[in-house]
Amino acid sequence: MKSILLLSLILTTLISCNAQKNGTDNISTDPVAETSKLPMKWDGANLPLTVYIGDTMLAEVSGEGDDSDGHNLIEQMEKQWNEADPARTYFNISSTHSRTNLNYTNLDSYLDGEIGIYKSTNWFSYIGSGVLAVTSYLGEYKGSYIKLSHADIIMNYRDYTFTNDTSNSYNYDLPSVVLHELGHMIGLKHTTSSVIPSVMQPTLSASEVKREVTAYDISYVTSNYNNVAAISASALALTTEGEETPRYFKGYIEMRTDGNCYHYQNERLVEVHKHGINSTAD
């Protein structure tokens, strides 16, 4: 209940801020291209995350490929990230957490009190086809990083068919896509080079299977949570000492089939990833 009330307050703040004009507290006027460069992470008090799998999404992995501990394929991908960082447990996999699948046509509708992985057969008209999955997020600007407060993964079952069979070269490997999106869920962005072995590369072909994090991924996630990156003067100018009004950012990161993936924040394109080439949108 507490988390639902918090999200309601945040959404009210976002709506009221977007309705303002020419004010320094207007979240829509912030240079989001600057904040997009900041690391995103959850506070330690919020970890591990309990991720609810939509029931129709759970049906895609139930009873198929369970490990010796009884973890389904999605939980095994969560375990990959847990084992990548000896200092933290990112996901709660003590038991399977499920809920009724959500199948909305607007990402804002997923902003409830539960973090989830959902199967979409409707998809989103403003995102369109060509996108395998998106991870949407909500976070608070903390000066040197974005503190995440909510995230969801939505899989595009309207336009694509996914498989758990590693020998299937015609459909997209479901665990590989989920592992990538879970990386986004805990704050990771796409790699900046297509030659770096990583599950966080911005694209995946139908013939690829990437179910294990790499040395790069391990280094990335641990450094993301151990370090607070330096920020530019323009990003620092977004806040003043003693400022009481929190700034919230909502966004989503696409995983496309063509490698041209996009990161949106507050409804603006802020980063472009083209076959391993990283750039910041104007």
Instruction: Summarize pLDDT for 69-109 with one digit per residue, the tens.
Output: 999 999 999 999 999 999 999 999 999 999 999 999 999 99
230 pLDDT tier (thresholds 50, 70, 90): very low
pLDDT of residue 193 exceeding 80: no
Residue 208, pLDDT score: 93
pLDDT of 34 over the 90 cut: no
Residues forming beta bridges with residue 98, ordered by sequence position: 53
User: What is the structure's pLDDT at 228?
Assistant: 59
Pick the CATH number of 32-280 from 2.60.120.10, 3.40.50.720, 4.10.640.10, 3.40.390.10: 3.40.390.10
Residue 280 has pLDDT above 70, yes or no: no
**What are the residue ranges spanned by the domains of the chain?**
32-280
The yes-or-no verdict on residue 36 having pLDDT over 60 is yes
- Round to whole Å and give the CA distance between 168 and 172: 8
Q: What is the pLDDT of residues 4-30, one digit of tens each?
A: 444 544 443 343 333 323 332 333 345
CA 98, CA 101: separation in Å to the nearest integer?
9
Closest CA to 224 of 156, 144, 137: 144
Q: What confidence tier does 146 reach under pLDDT thresholds 50, 70, 90? A: very high
247/243: higher pLDDT: 247
- Which whole number is the average pLDDT over 21-47? 67
Average pLDDT, stretch 107-133?
A: 95
Provide the mean pLDDT of the chain.
84
Q: How much is the average pLDDT of 102-128?
A: 96
Non-local (6+) Cβ contacts of 138 within 8 A are: 7, 10, 111, 148, 149, 150, 151, 248, 249, 250
pLDDT band at 281 (very low <50, low <70, confident <90, very high): low
User: Quick check: pTM over 0.75?
Assistant: yes
What pLDDT, on a 0 to 100 scale, did the predictor assign at position 2?
Answer: 46
Share of the chain above pLDDT 70, in %: 79
Rounded CA separation 117/43 (Å): 21
